[in-house]
Amino acid sequence: MMGNTRELPAPQRGDSWNTYECATVLCAVDGCDHGACQSGPFFVVSISLDEDKVATTIMYSSDTGTWSTPASLDLGFIESDISISWMHGVLSGGALHFILMHDDARLGVLKYDLGTSCLSEIEPAFEIQSARFDSHALIAPEDGQLGIARLSGFNLSVYWREVCHDQVATWTKSEVIDLKKHLLASNPMISHTELVGSVERTTIIFATTNIGTYMIDLKSLRSKKLTSELRLFNHPWALFPYFSFYNPQRDKLRTRSI
């Protein structure tokens, strides 16, 4: 937004053709409250999926100006085509998470641990694995939990991942939320809706409809129409929220907008 650009060197990925690729920018300052770190050190995590169903993640550091050693995970044992969701990855528990979509109507979650630089696949709850054709979005509230929101028609439910002390992970399903009471109550012209993103460190998700895009807070169950211009199309798309800050003087109250 300030008109500043920074060109990064191209990462070395090998000879395989990448069918899917996306990237995430992260602040590289430990303990930062992200109040004014736009010009500070940063990481860029790039993830790709090649024709051999091998997922590869590599991280760029602005401090060193170099890319890390690639981390790879072979997903070829699954007899189906695989793609990465158009939606951005979310940071939770020191790891980035991305939605994987299998063509045999199953979903998975690809996890990249920033501390160990390891890739792994998380197996979601059975109801999510068998509901690929519903709409899904990852959620990462401030408490460090990882959640998957699932929208089937107008019925919205959230599955929260909990890791016990013995490192065994379980999924807990929330109560089903009827979006008709929260979206259609304000506009009965809504006939269809899909999830297109979320806001990290909150329980806010974004849903696009045939008449525009809405922001929904899962904690307060309040919704707000953002725009009529962004609405359902014939191809998948995603919404990437950002935070902007204004700090006129140090030690003054910081204002924030989404």
User: Per-residue confidence of the chain (258 residues) as pLDDT tens digits?
Assistant: 667 788 898 887 666 666 678 888 888 888 777 767 777 899 999 988 888 888 999 999 999 999 999 999 998 765 567 888 888 889 998 899 999 887 756 788 999 999 999 999 998 888 877 666 688 999 999 877 899 999 988 999 999 998 877 778 889 998 899 988 877 776 788 888 899 999 988 999 999 988 889 999 998 888 888 888 888 776 667 888 876 655 555 554 444 444
Q: How many CA atoms lie within 13 A of 179 on its CB side?
A: 29
Q: Would you state the pLDDT for residue 45?
A: 92
Tokens 């806010």 correspond to 204
Q: How far apart are CA 248 and CA 227, in angstroms?
A: 30
End-to-end CA, the chain: 15
Euclidean distance between CA atoms 108 and 189, whole angstroms: 33
Three-class SS of residue 226? strand
Q: Which two tokens stand for residue 25?
A: 């920018």
Structure tokens at 148: 């998957």
Whole-angstrom distance, CA of residue 190 vs CA of residue 179? 11
Distances (CA, A) of 173 to 90, 166, 177, 188: 19, 21, 11, 28
Adjacent-strand bridge partners of 113: 95, 118
Residue 228 in tokens: 């009529």
Question: Residue 233: its pLDDT value, please?
Answer: 76
* Cα 157 to Cα 199: distance, rounded to the nearest angstrom: 17
Residue 178: its H or E element: strand 177-178
Q: What confidence score (pLDDT) does residue 253 get?
A: 47
Distance CA 246, CA 236 (A): 33
Q: Which residues contact 207 (CB under 8 A, 6 or more apart)?
A: 151, 179, 183, 193, 194, 195, 196, 213, 214, 216
